[in-house]
Chain A
Amino acid sequence: MSSYPFKRTCKEVSALLIAREDRDLPLADRLALRVHMAMCQACPSFERQVLTMRNAMKNWRQYANDPRDDA
């Protein structure tokens, strides 16, 4: 990493947004994420995709675990 400890590229940020689904990020990554998200036009769109997937999996879990009717 360069002289900016909290500087991340969109690619690095995308990897962090995906990793966040499965593990707690270290403080430095969380801060870097916040800084980047505040300045970037594109990454918030990617984050919305990740959150939509999280939401979709929750719906699917419900559908798979508690089938409301005969399927």
Chain B
Amino acid sequence: MPHADAGPFDQQVASHRDYLLRFARLQLRNDAWAEDAVSDTLLAALSKPLSFGSRSQLKTWLVGILKHKIIDALRHHGREVCVGGDSDDEQADPLEFMAFKADGHFGERPAEWGNPEQDLSSRQFMEILEACASKLPASQGRLFLMREWLELSSEEICKELGLTATNLYVQLHRARLRLRECLELNWFASPRAT
């Protein structure tokens, strides 16, 4: 069923390519894998044209297909996905850089971030959040987004990637604390005009 503002289905689908690529890159952290996953997504979509009432519905449908293609890619690349680098920075436990005293208690109280719901759904915040996620070391970022974007359980991630639970938890621990630090520096503690 054609719509007033609708170009050919192919063009509509193709117009979302950049959007899909942004998330594929964020999750896969490898341009070639991301390009492949997005191409597979567009091909799959074009092979079964559906009618959508709006651009955003089409987009949501495409994102759903993309997630499946991305899980295929992650499974396919298996160990490459979850093997971290061995730089000191990546191996460091961010807890060691927080304000703990020698006895393990907080030297200063963690900041109150406040939780204004509106701020946390703002476009500006989303950009900071994505920038922080994209700055995580690649393996940490992939595992973190498998939890938070693909919404896989820890057990599913270990199974898909052949990763031990201990290894997964160490990497997620580092990823979450790094993200915390990045958000604190770039959002919660930074003066901003809102």
Residues of B whose CB lies within 8 Å of any CB of A are 19, 23, 55-56, 59-60, 63-64, 95, 98, 100, 103-106, 108-113, 115, 117, 120-121, 125-126, 129-130, 147-149, 151, 154, 165, 168-169, 172-173, 176-177, 179-180, 183-184
Contacts and interface: CB of A to CB of B under 8 A. Distances in A.
Nearest to B18: A71
18 contacts: A9-B100, A10-B105, A12-B104, A19-B169, A22-B147, A23-B169, A41-B109, A42-B105, A42-B108, A42-B110, A52-B115, A56-B120, A56-B183, A60-B129, A61-B148, A64-B23, A67-B19, A70-B56
Contacts, number: 105
Nearest to B59: A67
Chain B interface helix/strand/loop/mixed: helix
Contacts of B104: 9-12
Contacts of A63: 121, 126
